[in-house]
Structure 1
């Protein structure tokens, strides 16, 4: 059994660790609130862009554009799928990174069976994960996972748009973590390119619940779409980055909370063990004092008997 000094040393070590986990919990909660606020402030702009694309497609359902090109004439084995995988730069976030990377590997296997794929990775842990397995990463976007901004989302969007227009990519998906609520997060895959027109129109080609207002597009519908769609795609990318960042902070908060609970339980158990060891030491000391007193008493009694004889 450990002595009191060893138990106290372990308790102090756990308490010092709790200070770190508590600080990480508070930092993550602050980052989570800030990220949610930034997303709420930018959502109206991207919702407006989505509405605008929907209006154009609704008015001109037969419109053709390079961003709608699904390249059906191209053989499946010649198609290249782009996968933007959003991970974290740091660990200590439960199963956050594992779930995203697991989905990414599943999609890589599917894409590899019919064609080719390119990886675009956000986050240092994702880069290390694929690097250790010898999987080539086409491009890594540094300093993005911990700081999701519109500027970084624009860099990612421009990269994939350039390769899509050059036909180096035929489909582009983003794999990220969606925060369903404060308890549940789940990995999700969303198609970025080509854009599916059916998302914006109903089966009969128009949404009857909406007022069919006249729409004038200058200089042309194609030019309008060419200007709107990049920002529209950037909105999805930015939303995915912020959702992933929020999910990461939420997962880290839950992990730190679980760590704090486990640390408290360990300290409680060590306190009981410490009290037992201390009580045993006190009992042993009392026993030794009593035994010593009895020995002295016997010694005095034997001396008296010798003197009396």
Structure 2
């Protein structure tokens, strides 16, 4: 058994760690509230965009647009696919980064003709260490996502897509299922599928008369779709940021609870060690007194 001094030193170290995990929990809690408000504040605008796209497609089902082209005729192994992977800038967030990178590796292994876009330092280090080529690293912090960052990222992806650099774009990120659960997933960003807009619920106050699209339906779509993609990317960044903070909160809470359990066990060990030391001292005093008593009798 360790002596009382060693146990005290270990308890001090755990207490210092406990203060850090508590502070990180509180910081992540504050950031989570902020990110949820950001998403709530911007949802109405992008919902309206989605609704308008649904209306246009309903009136013009045969609309031919580069953003809605079909890739079904391209063999799977021949498709040129771009993956945008969104990870955190740091760890200490449970399995948050692991789940994202696992999906990314599986997808990259399936498609030899792929390009990789990465946002987040953890993802960059991960792929670089494994010798996986990164076509573009967005040098933005994943913390506190902004609409301007989402627009810059989207414009670069859209420009490469319009120039025919790849056939499909997928985004791999973490979505918030509910207040306590998040899930890493992969979604197709481009080309869009008309069927995905057929089931969009149109608000009752939206008028449904025939549309007059000027100068043309294609021109209108070329203006609306990029904004929709920006909204999708921004939503993914905000959700990823929220999920990261939620995962870090849970990880720090688990670490805090483990530290408290360890402190409880160490406290018992310390009391036992102290009691053993006291017992040892009493035994030595009694043995000394008896020895002195025997000497006096002689």
2:183 and 2:71 map into 1 onto residues whose CA distance is: 31
2:297 aligns with: 301
Structure 2 counterparts to residues 78-227 of structure 1, below 5 A = 78-112=78-112, 116-201=113-198, 212-227=208-223
2:233 aligns with: 237
1:94 and 1:182 map into 2 onto residues whose CA distance is: 16
**Displacement of 1:76:** 4.8
1:65 aligns with: 65
Deviations 1:31-84 (A, max 9, x none): 111010011000100000000100100111111111112355656554310100
1:221 and 1:51 map into 2 onto residues whose CA distance is: 16
Evaluate the alpha carbon distance shift between residue 231 and residue 286 of structure 1 in structure 2; reply closer, same or farther with a 3 A threshold.
Answer: same
SS at match of 2:111: helix
RMSD: 1.8
Deviations 1:70-103 (A, max 9, x none): 3556565543101001101100001100100101
Structure 2 counterparts to residues 37-52 of structure 1, below 5 A = 37-52=37-52
User: Is the CA contact 1:70–1:170 (under 8 Å) kept in the aligned structure 2?
Assistant: no
SS at match of 1:91: coil
**Displacement of 1:290:** 1.2
**Displacement of 1:128:** 0.7
Structure 1 unaligned regions, length at least 5 = 303-309
**2:33 is equivalent to residue 33 of structure 1:** yes
Count residues with an aligned counterpart: 295
TM-score, with structure 1 as normaliser: 0.91
TM-score, with structure 2 as normaliser: 0.94
**Displacement of 1:273:** 0.6
SS at match of 1:213: coil
Q: Which moved more, 1:269-278 or 1:69-78?
A: 69-78
1:234 and 1:253 map into 2 onto residues whose CA distance is: 28
